């Protein structure tokens, strides 16, 4: 995706395959860089709890300008829906809420809980960072939190975010795990 026309084409296709976004009925699809639809499964109850917990902790720590499941345009990976995004208040002004954010927000969070092992997480992290994210937080299926920046994995968040997530929602080796929801 290198031109505005290509981005506009992806947005037009995204709107055609996600017609219920304006009415609030959400069962969205993502689009890969070629414009092919990629199903975005609804999160399970336990994943929704973890997403909400991460969202709440982020808003408490760096401000109430975060959102859950917002479609964003990436320059190399199509239109994707990070689990949680955060950006400064000024960046939210003038954004059409019925179309994908035309850029990648400063902070993106992906929670891998209850997903088939995502083979595209490295591509997602790279696309968010290439698209302008200053940081990407990845929470794996065991509850481990990783912070990523343009120079690679970090020991801590540059935003000062710490996530304290309840262990009961995560799979641990040797423990019976929750069934995967498809």
- Cα distances (angstroms) measured from residue 83 to each of 38, 42, 132: 15, 11, 17
> With a cut of 50, which residues of the chain have pLDDT below it?
1-5, 23, 25, 174-182
* pLDDT at residue 179 in the model: 44
Q: How do the domains of the chain map onto residue ranges? A: 42-169
* pLDDT at residue 115 in the model: 72
- Cα distances (angstroms) measured from residue 167 to each of 13, 32, 35, 161, 174: 39, 33, 37, 18, 14
42-169 folds as tt1808, chain A (3.90.1570)
Q: Specify the pTM.
A: 0.85
Quote the radius of gyration of the chain (alpha carbons, Å). Answer: 16
* pLDDT at residue 178 in the model: 43
Residue 111 and residue 117 in contact, taking contact as beta carbons nearer than 8 Å:
no
Rounded to 5 degrees, what are φ and ψ at 149? -135, -175
Q: Among 42, 47, 54, 51, which residue's Cα sits nearest to residue 178?
A: 47
* pLDDT at residue 67 in the model: 93
pLDDT digits (tens, 9 = 90+) for 106-142: 999 999 987 765 677 898 999 999 999 999 999 998 9
* pLDDT at residue 148 in the model: 97
* pLDDT at residue 79 in the model: 92
* pLDDT at residue 1 in the model: 39
How far is residue 180's CA from residue 10's CA, in Å, rounded to a whole number? 31
* pLDDT at residue 38 in the model: 84
């Amino acid at each position: 995706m290198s031109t505005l026309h290509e981005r506009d084409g992806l947005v037009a296709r995204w709107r055609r395959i996600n017609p219920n976004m304006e009415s609030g009925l959400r069962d969205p699809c993502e689009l890969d860089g070629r414009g092919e639809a990629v199903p975005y499964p609804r999160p399970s109850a336990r994943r929704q709890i973890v997403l909400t917990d991460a969202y709440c902790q982020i808003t408490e720590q760096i401000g109430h300008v975060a959102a859950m499941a917002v479609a964003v345009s990436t320059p190399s990976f199509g239109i994707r829906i990070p689990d949680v995004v955060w950006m400064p208040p000024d960046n939210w002004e003038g954004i059409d809420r019925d179309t994908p954010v035309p850029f990648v927000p400063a902070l993106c969070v992906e929670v891998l809980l209850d997903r088939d092992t995502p083979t595209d997480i490295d591509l997602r992290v790279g696309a968010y960072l290439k698209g302008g994210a200053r940081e990407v937080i990845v929470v794996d299926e065991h509850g481990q939190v990783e912070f990523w920046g343009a120079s690679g994995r970090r020991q801590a968040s540059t935003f000062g975010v710490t996530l304290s997530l309840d262990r009961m929602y995560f799979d641990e080796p040797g423990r019976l795990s929750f069934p995967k929801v498809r």
